Structure 1
C-alpha cells in the first residue's frame, strides 16, 4: 500500500513538474505569426498559417533545459485567394485531409551568441520527418519573450508539390518558414 502511494505521489510530482513551464507562460496568438515563402517562376509568394499552437518552456539562463513544440494546421494556409488556398490543401500540396498538421518538436536547445540559440528537433510535414536545426533569436521585454527565426527547407523532402508541381523550375524547391512567436509569462 505504501509502495502504491509513493508511486502515486511521484507520478503526481512528475506531472506537476512537466506542466509547470506551460502554466507560467502563454503564446499570444494575436501577436504571433508563421509564414511560408516559396518562389513561383522566381517571384516570391508568401502565405500565412492562420491556425497554430505552440508550447514553449524556455529560460535563456538555462537553454538546455528548454523545449518547444509547434503544431500547424495545414488547412489554414492562406495565400490571399480562396481558389489557391483550396489547391494548396489538396493532395498535390499539403494533402490537409490526410495530414491536417505539420509539427516541430525540439530535442535540444544550445546557445549560439547573444540572444541567439540553435534549436534542434524533428520537423514533420505530410507524414515525412526530418531532423532540422533552427536558428532562433530570443528577445525579452518585461514579462514577454519573443522568438524569431527562419528555417529553409526543401519541399521535395516532404512531398509538397507532386504531379505537375514536382518540377522545381516552376515552383522552387526551397521554402522559407518564418516564425514570430510572442509568449507572455503569467
Structure 2
C-alpha cells in the first residue's frame, strides 16, 4: 500500500529545507592573500608578470549573485614584468603612461550565474583613459568561511593603446595578454 504525504508535512519539509539553506555573503578583498598575474609572448617566448599594488571592493551574496558588485583598482606602476628595464619601459607614454594614468580600474555592471559556482561578471575596464566593456569568467571556491574568486581574461593591448608606435601589433610583443586573478574575501 502506497502512503501519500500530507500537504502540510510536504510544505513543512520544503519550507524547513529553504530556511536552513544559508546565504553566504563575501565582502572586502584581502589584498595580502589576493593576486593579479599575466602572461604574454615577447619574441615568441612566454613572459610572466604581476601587479603588486591593488585594492578591491566586493559585495557578493551566493543566494543573490545577480546583485553582486566588484571594483578593482590597480596601481599600474606596481608592474613586475621580470626585469627592472622592462618595468621602467612599461611606465612610459607608449605603454601605460603611468605619469598621466596611474590607475587601471575594473568595475562590474552585472553578474550572471552559470551554475556550479561559475559566474560571468560583466563590467568596464579603464586603462590609459580608454574604457571598454569586459566580461570575466569567474569560479568561486568556498574554503572555511573564505571565498576565493578565480578569474581569467584576455586583454587586447591595442584596445587600450598599450604598446604604441614601434611596439604596436604582434611582431615583438603579443597583442593578447592573458590576465589571471585570485581575489580572496572573508565571509560576512
Q: What is the CA deviation profile of residues 7-43 of structure 1, one whole-angstrom value per residue up to 9, with x for unaligned ones? A: xxxxxxxxxxxxxxxxx73322221100121111121
Distance 2:28 2:114 in 1: 25
Q: Offset of 1:46 from its aligned partner?
A: 1.5
Helix, strand or coil at the partner of 2:162: coil
Contact 1:26 1:185 in 2 (8 A): no
- Normalising by structure 1, report the TM-score: 0.84
Distance 1:77 1:87 in 2: 11
- The partner residue of 2:79 within 77, 80, 84 is 77
CA RMSD, 1 decimal: 1.2
Q: Distance in 2 between matches of 1:126 and 1:175?
A: 16
Residues 104-151 of structure 1: CA distance to partner in whole angstroms, max 9, x if unpaired? Answer: 100000101201000001011111111111000011112200110111
Measured in 2, the distance between the counterparts of 1:69 and 1:93 equals: 23
Give SS of 1:57's match.
strand
Residue 46 in structure 1 maps to residue 48 in structure 2? yes
- 1:11-90 maps to which residues of 2 (within 5 A)? 25-90=27-92
Tell me the number of residue pairs that the alignment of Structure 1 and Structure 2 aligns: 163
Displacement of 1:64 in angstroms is 0.7
Report the structure number with the largest CA radius of gyration. Answer: 2
